[in-house]
Amino acid sequence: MDFDAPYSRKGSYSVKHDGLVEKFGLTGEDWLPLWVADMDFPSPQVVKDAIIKRAEQGAYGYVGGYQSQYKGIVSAWFDGRQDLQVEKKAFLVNDTIVAGINRMIRTFSQKGDKVIIQTPVYPPFHSAVLNNDRELVCNPLKKTATGYEMDYDDLIAKIDGKCKLLIFCSPHNPVGRVWRLDELEKLWEICSRHNILIISDEAHADIVYSGHKHINFLNVASQAKESVIVCTSPHKTFNMAGLQISNLIIPNEHLRHAYAKMLTREGYAEPNIFALVACMAAYGKAASWLDELLVYLEANRDFIAQYLAREIPQIGYHKPEGTFLAWLDFSALRLAGEKLQELVLRQAKVVLNAGAMFGVEGNTFMRLNFACPRAQIEKALERIKKALS
């Protein structure tokens, strides 16, 4: 696929492009949106073909009879790409990961219990805890000269008997870490010692770059299958978030049945038929497309590093090990919060995610989505450079 080819998503009800008025009050055409974490590339052709073929059948009634084939394809993907072997019954089909995390908070904790997150982190983690009347405990990542690492001492100091869950992000959005086995083992040891259930959001697991390897949290230790739930989805991998389908891996039978009961209680029945066939097509036939995508994304990642080093060295940037998200540090420019947003959004007319939405640790940062043609990235960086001059 030619990932450099111009591709317009305007008029497709894309929140990234068509939602600028609703989100920011932005009208007109001269805005460059590199914010929401989906891609400005079309999904694999096999996904489109599967949806069209199913649509042409003409009847869109209730869904059933798919479990064996579907779970066979999904489990084969995780076996082949992540060396994860789990029984097919451990996979539960779900709508979105965010909806799943909200349900898991309600299923595995009570009002007033504490839920731990590691900031700066994906904003729906924050809201999932607070909107379900749980107490939010922030265990901030430690910023180092080379990126970020977990602060285990801070975590241990904040754990008490009310801490029931830890929502983990792997690979990490927005800082781009792909966690090493020793890091995951230490986190699991701490949580298991204190009977804290780990909910691992691994939405970006397939987007990992040279020299790094994603480790599914269920592979951290043999006992992890009893105290870890892994949330997965084809959304980031194949640019199909609007189809709203995910696969939760819950090997522990008691936990799986409890979550399935919550699904039933809330009225979730079966996946959307188009999401179902799209997911099977993606996992079953689009591996080569993903391999090509990763090469292109890694080059985009490196281009940003080269441009900033040459043209705007004041902006800090550690190349992400995974995800297609650049975490840009404006602290050397003494820009933060609303002043930073004013410069990037109003002066440069580049739409990025404000770092403050990921936690107070992100107040001097902006998140840039580089899953787009390289020309768009270059144009955005040139605009920011001009606004800073």
Residue 160 confidence (pLDDT): 97
Q: How many CA atoms lie within 13 A of 78 on its CB side?
A: 28
Packing angle, helices 273-285 and 67-82, rounded to 10: 40
Q: Cα-atom radius of gyration of the chain, to the nearest Å? A: 21
Contact 167, 115 (CB under 8 A): yes
Q: What residues of the chain score a pLDDT lower than 50? A: none
Where are the alpha helices (H) located in the chain, listed in sequence order? 15-18, 20-24, 45-56, 67-82, 97-108, 123-131, 152-158, 181-193, 224-227, 235-238, 253-265, 273-285, 287-311, 337-341, 374-388
Secondary structure element (H or E) that encloses residue 167, with its range: strand 163-169
* Pairing state between β 353-354 and 197-201: unpaired
Domain range 59-285, CATH architecture? 3-Layer(aba) Sandwich (3.40)
**CATH 3.40.50.720 for domain 15-44+288-388:** no
Q: Which of these, 68, 78, 33, 139, lies nearest to 367 by C-alpha position?
A: 33
Q: Is the pTM of this model over 0.85?
A: yes
Place of tokens 């990642």: 301
Residue 385's Cβ-side half-sphere holds a number of Cα atoms within 13 Å equal to 14
pLDDT at site 29: 81
Give the residue among 79, 64, 63, 37 at the shortest CA–CA distance from 249. 79
Tally of CB atoms within 10 A around 1: 13
Contact 241, 38 (CB under 8 A): yes
Give CA–CA dist 321/175, Å, rounded.
9
CA distance 345 to 352: 7
Domain ranges in the chain are 15-44+288-388, 59-285
Nearest Cα neighbor of 305 from 147, 83, 150 is: 147
**What distance in Å separates the CA atoms of residue 59 and residue 55, rounded to the nearest whole number?**
8
Q: Rounded distance, CA 155 to CA 132, Å?
A: 22
Q: What sign results for the dihedral spanned by CA atoms 59, 60, 63, 68?
A: positive
DSSP secondary structure string, 176-233? -----HHHHHHHHHHHHHTTPEEEEE-TTTT-B-TT-----GGGS-TTHHHHEEEEE-
Residue pair 337/356 in contact (Cβ under 8 Å)? The answer is yes
Residue type, 336: A
- Beta carbons within 10 angstroms of residue 7's beta carbon: 14
Residue type, 241: A
